[in-house]
Structure 1
């Protein structure tokens, strides 16, 4: 099937909508039944240009946890978080933190000692992992949804490093990226606030951020092309199978892409670091700041990847997909 096989009128309407209302998009790919129906790039970007995909990183990292369990590095998501950090000493009287499990972190149902995530305090610390552990627990209840964009997922990075003995990037390259022919580039060290902001906003970024201990964040900092994102989406649609090889355990994909928790305030469901758009219709997505998306509609066998430049309050990509993309390719 030829790329961009779409009626000219519908193509013009779609691209007019993108240019008018979603003008920070750098690339869109639509796959159906594993074939490319649409691929286009915007804002001077090409197929080989990467963008920082922000929290899409979380959903990619979810796959790494599943692979680590399947390979025996992690016994179970019911393991306690502190089991992986024997060197960490909790403060006297702290009990909640001792009961937090990997599953609590994956489903965003772990409690923290803050109402609003203290980004500045976290990033200015000389040890992000220790800072994250210091913020875990508190007086909240385990099991209540509390979205942690940065802190909680960084602890998951530490768990992967501790359990596998490899860096996050090395483990990901060996077990996920290389089989999919995804090239990530080098680790990115951000020395100060200016470099941090530049990474979020610059057009030409590549690689994966690391902290001062060499740990890649599970929640952000990864750069991908729209093709890379589409490959990951297709891998999930195909239950972890890629060119005849099982890359991600089938059971992990099934389990991690169904509802385990819910953010009632926004009426959003959550799996294991994946947003569940419609549990019944088996639609789920990786969603990142600025409008970065890997969207999977299992029943319709559609994958949509959208890469976007950072911008505050980006317009809802799910609306774009549901109202302008899916109807064209159903």
Structure 2
């Protein structure tokens, strides 16, 4: 592993220009203080700040062993020791507009800035909604090539703003499988030229692949559409209207260069929480509509018709405990490298922010969703509601007219397309699976209703709506 890292590092150095060799040498592995070696575009705060009051409600902090997923935690480890040992630098819990818990670690304070990485993507999504409302962008189906001429070539002319928001643009890039490309882009001092050269791997609108380059392009689209630097658009439309307490910044690839729209926001926990509050209130801030209400509402919905991932929409992660949802209504989060999280739960008016210098093997989105459940319910309950599988029986159809049937035979759930019948075993309340056939069902359950099913076959995911009333068969 060390040999591979060294080779990757040497390749990056060989590809780098003199201007960004220093960045690579000093910050080979990205971190929350990277902004210190990048050029910055300042986002000014307003004259008057909105301040969250302290709550007079006592909060019993749950043991980390009751809510952490992804890593074993000793029952003897207390809440704050756990946060400190996992590299957390800020942790903030706000409920009903009041601060229930706030603490800082590793010499960080309330006023200490940190890079928030991919939380930036969710902020950019909000700006796209605003830009559409203001007429700078026609709608989410407008072609990216209207703003980036290089994308009129090689089939990229089919890429739309919606494809970028949901990372179904088909570009040959992946944050997970081509890490060297991600690091090469991150440290590149001419990211616009870098973007121009990326070709298609899939037809736009067919395959989801998490890639930061999609949001980098969105930032470029916003600058071209509005005629303003991204940082100034954030300042005008979000930072000042929301009464942010602190000045923020957007990292640039070079002086007066391209903004790192996919991960370059530098901010504090309290100000991130205000973005969460804005979404909880459907884009409205103290009586003023900042983001179109419909845009916010649609961000909470699943839509897999055009290849979107079943729990990712408009740069937000939906249902953070996807295989075992803890809330009947939807919760969601913005997440970033090293475990940055902005979690929001509109049903319970709850916001949780975590910033950290490492992930420490923790699934922070899932874990914070579980923590939220414990805060709301003041108890540990792995499955807070029950769904009778008999209600799943019936016919299901996707947008292309392909259908399958679910039968319940001898209390077993069977899925059939008329030719092949496959039994599925219960993995959790909302997840059935056949490991041998690599097939999974995720139940789209919200507000007490089963709306449909997500069928995952070898990681190809499609959404199916229920077609007829269920029929229970008894063998």
CA separation in 2, counterparts of 1:42 and 1:305? 14
- Are 1:68 and 2:116 matched, yes or no? no
From 197, 208, 217, give the equivalent of 1:145. Answer: 208
- Count of aligned positions: 299
Q: Give per-residue Cα distances to partners, 1:131-163, cap 9 Å, x unaligned.
A: 2132142445532101102x1111101100000
Question: 1:283 aligns to what?
Answer: 331
The TM-score, its normalising length taken from structure 2, stands at 0.58
> Which structure carries more relative contact order (alpha carbon 8 Å, separation 6+)?
1
Q: 1:125 to 1:2 in 2, by over 3 A?
A: closer
CA separation in 2, counterparts of 1:277 and 1:143? 22
From 87, 93, 99, give the equivalent of 2:158. Answer: 99
Structure 1: segments with no counterpart, 5+ residues: 186-205
CA separation in 2, counterparts of 1:296 and 1:61? 17
From 285, 291, 297, give the equivalent of 2:345. Answer: 297
Q: When you count helix as a share of all residues, which structure comes out higher?
A: 1
Q: Give per-residue Cα distances to partners, 1:25-80, cap 9 Å, x unaligned.
A: 11222222222222222222211112111100101111111111111111101001
CA separation in 1, counterparts of 2:200 and 2:106? 43
Question: 1:317 aligns to what?
Answer: 364
Q: Give per-residue Cα distances to partners, 1:91-141, cap 9 Å, x unaligned.
A: 5xx22x110100001011111234625134434655312321321424455
Give the stretch that moved more between structures: 57-66 or 131-140. Answer: 131-140
* 1:207 match: secondary structure: strand
Give the stretch that moved more between structures: 299-308 or 108-117. Answer: 108-117
CA separation in 2, counterparts of 1:37 and 1:240? 23
From 117, 126, 143, give the equivalent of 1:80. Answer: 143
CA separation in 1, counterparts of 2:81 and 2:185? 37
Question: 2:118 aligns to what?
Answer: 55
**Shift of the alpha carbon at 1:227?**
0.3
**Shift of the alpha carbon at 1:314?**
4.2
**Shift of the alpha carbon at 1:89?**
6.6
**Shift of the alpha carbon at 1:24?**
1.1
- Are 1:224 and 2:267 matched, yes or no? yes
The TM-score, its normalising length taken from structure 1, stands at 0.81
Q: 1:124 to 1:231 in 2, by over 3 A?
A: closer
Q: Does structure 2 conserve the Cα–Cα contact (< 8 Å) formed by 1:18 and 1:25?
A: no
Question: 1:195 aligns to what?
Answer: none
CA separation in 2, counterparts of 1:169 and 1:157? 10
CA separation in 2, counterparts of 1:142 and 1:84? 19
From 86, 105, 112, give the equivalent of 2:171. Answer: 112
**Shift of the alpha carbon at 1:207?**
2.4
When Rg is computed on C-alpha atoms for both structures, the one with the higher figure is: 2
Question: 1:203 aligns to what?
Answer: none
Structure 2: segments with no counterpart, 5+ residues: 1-52, 65-76, 323-327, 378-475
Q: 1:323 to 1:78 in 2, by over 3 A?
A: closer
Question: 1:270 aligns to what?
Answer: 312
- Are 1:127 and 2:190 matched, yes or no? yes
Give the stretch that moved more between structures: 311-320 or 157-166. Answer: 311-320
Which aligned runs of 4 or more in structure 1 are off by greater than 6 angstroms?
none
Give the aligned CA root-mean-square deviation in angstroms: 2.7
Q: 1:328 to 1:131 in 2, by over 3 A?
A: same
CA separation in 2, counterparts of 1:33 and 1:132? 42
CA separation in 1, counterparts of 2:197 and 2:92? 41
Q: Give per-residue Cα distances to partners, 1:191-233, cap 9 Å, x unaligned.
A: xxxxxxxxxxxxxxx6221123522222101111110111110
CA separation in 2, counterparts of 1:208 and 1:155? 15
Question: 1:188 aligns to what?
Answer: none
CA separation in 2, counterparts of 1:90 and 1:246? 35
From 20, 26, 43, give the equivalent of 2:89. Answer: 26
Question: 1:173 aligns to what?
Answer: 235
Question: 1:236 aligns to what?
Answer: 279
**Shift of the alpha carbon at 1:271?**
0.7
Question: 2:355 aligns to what?
Answer: 307
CA separation in 1, counterparts of 2:151 and 2:330? 42
